[in-house]
Structure 1
Amino acid sequence: MRRVGMLLLVMVSFLFGAPAGATPAPPPVTLRVLSYNIHTGIGTDGVLDLARTAAAIRGTGADVVALQEVDVHWAARSDFRDQARDLADMLGMRAFFAPIYDLDPLTPGAPRRRYGVAVLSRFPVLHTENHEITRLSTQDPDPAPRPMPGFAEAVVLVRGVPVHVYSTHLDYRPDPTVREMQVADMLRIMSDDRGPRLLLGDFNAPHEAPALAPLWTVLTDAAPGGGTYPAQAPTTAIDFVTVSDEVRVRSASVPETLASDHRPVLAELSVPR
């Protein structure tokens, strides 16, 4: 009789929901994320203005931001400033910077010159890693594809939920060969992780590009429905927020701003606990 009673309880739960007194499943958490190629803080007017970049980010209300084209003591174009730290300070966020290039300073005793991608977060960051993917260097006179750093991963604790956030900047050249390698590398790295995963960045190719096709077998494009480049009058969407299967996209948009030569992509997500 006890077994019959248990079977009846399972059937009732299946048909009518959990029995009275059962603990309901916790609600999902809401997360606002932004992907933004900041063009080292230089706007469409050719003026360096990192405060303007910060204002553009602040206006979106984003909790987590994936940045591309970030200078850290890199060159005169950005006043040799640490842009990742400066933006984090202006926004009251935590920063993880992942250099693609890490070069000797121009003058002895100066900080190393670095350029790459970053993740900013309002939430605690549990773990960070700068992964290698295939790249064709812009700093070598005779480059060949090889593993290089600059694929950023930050595990962000969003109201008790660990979320893997990746920031990437894929190859810009018309030949898609290196991008195809980079997509394969990123998918391999991401496959080692479990739970909610968000891949954000400048892919330098539109959604329908064959080089990106493998991404859509495991990730969903937030698909805001607007172009991101060039910022003045976008003709193509090459900047992305993409999510793993368990994450739901509640809304997505392309905020209008001329603080960079790209427009950012903003998405509001629902992440299960």
Structure 2
Amino acid sequence: MIKIASYNIQKAIGIDGRRRPERTMKVLKELDCHVLALQEADRRFGARTSPLQSDQLADLSGYRPVPLSPHNGGLGWHGNAILVRPDVEVEHYACIDLPRLEPRGAVMAQLVINGHRIRVAATHLSLVGRYRQRQIERLMQILHPDEDAPPTVLVGDLNEWRDDGRPLKAFSPHYTITTPGKSFPSPFPVASLDRIMTSCDLRVLKAGVHKSATARVASDHLPVWANLQIEERSNASA
């Protein structure tokens, strides 16, 4: 089993308006995942540094970042970052440009977890529906160039309020969309903006929203998570 989570940390600013990285890292540790994708991990302007520093991450949360950031002191690409446990092997990684009205992107990493190769991609999609659809279409082109693609999970803040929203139809036929539950806004969640998409050779065993007392104040989003199982391709296509 592989556990993955996705968390929009709002640059470590909680609903109390205070930037407290140590509070954010407490939530990361609570999640206890193999892989954790972050959105809004870096400041959007200026030096684009992250409030979560790599040495503190290791000490306070147990994760290390995949080295995706082109900026010193940053964690990711357009705020998207991937963190892994120490025993996870990172084979390679890449940043992805997406069609955009405002700065947007995605990141991906090919990992080996418990002897299994898996590809993880993470994104934070546009607030504008037509751009969300174009961004999903672009991700599909990149993540599935051929049938030899490894089992793939895409996670993130999709900024889509409806499970039947038109942009989400661009995921078919490659992915199953899992909506773990309502994750926004964190004190009284009413919207399922954060989702987990899996290729046909991954099965979601269980999924949910992390609702600890700390998570309810650490960001305006709650983290979502899923336990995954890699399926044999012959079984997946049967």
* TM-score bracket for the superposition, by shorter chain length: 0.7 to 0.9
Q: How does 1:245-260 map to 2 (within 5 A)?
A: 245-256=200-211, 257-258=215-216, 259-260=218-219
Matched with 2:97 is 132
Distance 2:106 2:57 in 1: 19
Do residues 179 (structure 1) and 132 (structure 2) align?
Answer: yes
Is the 8 Å Cα contact of residues 176 and 199 (structure 2) preserved in structure 1?
Answer: yes
Do residues 93 (structure 1) and 63 (structure 2) align?
Answer: yes
For structure 2, the residue ranges without an aligned partner over 5 or more in a row are 233-238
Q: Deviations over 1:111-133 (max 9, x none)?
A: 78975210001111110100111
Give 3-state SS (helix, strand or coil) of 2:99's partner.
strand
Aligned-pair CA distance for 1:94: 2.5
AA paired with 2:17? G
Matched with 2:226 is 267
Distance 1:36 1:248 in 2: 21
Is the 8 Å Cα contact of residues 74 and 81 (structure 1) preserved in structure 2?
Answer: no
Distance 2:194 2:56 in 1: 20
Give 3-state SS (helix, strand or coil) of 2:24's partner.
helix
Is the 8 Å Cα contact of residues 68 and 95 (structure 2) preserved in structure 1?
Answer: yes
Matched with 2:235 is none
Aligned-pair CA distance for 1:216: 3.9
For structure 1, the residue ranges without an aligned partner over 5 or more in a row are 1-29, 104-109, 139-147
Aligned-pair CA distance for 1:73: 9.3
Matched with 1:17 is none
Is the 8 Å Cα contact of residues 50 and 73 (structure 2) preserved in structure 1?
Answer: no
- Give 1 or 2 for the bigger CA radius of gyration: 1
Do residues 213 (structure 1) and 169 (structure 2) align?
Answer: yes
Is the 8 Å Cα contact of residues 167 and 199 (structure 1) preserved in structure 2?
Answer: yes
**Aligned match for 1:204, one of 159, 162, 169:** 159
Do residues 37 (structure 1) and 8 (structure 2) align?
Answer: yes
Change (3 A) 1:69 1:49: same
Matched with 1:65 is 36
Q: Deviations over 1:51-89 (max 9, x none)?
A: 11111121121110011001169569x9x5552625632
Aligned-pair CA distance for 1:93: 2.1
Aligned pairs, number: 221
Matched with 2:141 is 188
Is the 8 Å Cα contact of residues 179 and 194 (structure 2) preserved in structure 1?
Answer: no
RMSD: 2.6
Is the 8 Å Cα contact of residues 37 and 260 (structure 1) preserved in structure 2?
Answer: yes
Distance 1:200 1:112 in 2: 20
Is the 8 Å Cα contact of residues 165 and 198 (structure 1) preserved in structure 2?
Answer: yes
Distance 1:67 1:178 in 2: 21
Aligned-pair CA distance for 1:200: 0.4
Q: Deviations over 1:132-172 (max 9, x none)?
A: 1111125xxxxxxxxx6x31011111122111000101001
Is the 8 Å Cα contact of residues 11 and 50 (structure 2) preserved in structure 1?
Answer: no
Change (3 A) 1:84 1:211: farther
Distance 2:33 2:114 in 1: 15
Q: Deviations over 1:178-207 (max 9, x none)?
A: 111101100001112612100000000032
Distance 2:156 2:56 in 1: 17
**Aligned match for 1:53, one of 11, 24, 32:** 24
Matched with 1:234 is 189
AA paired with 2:57? A
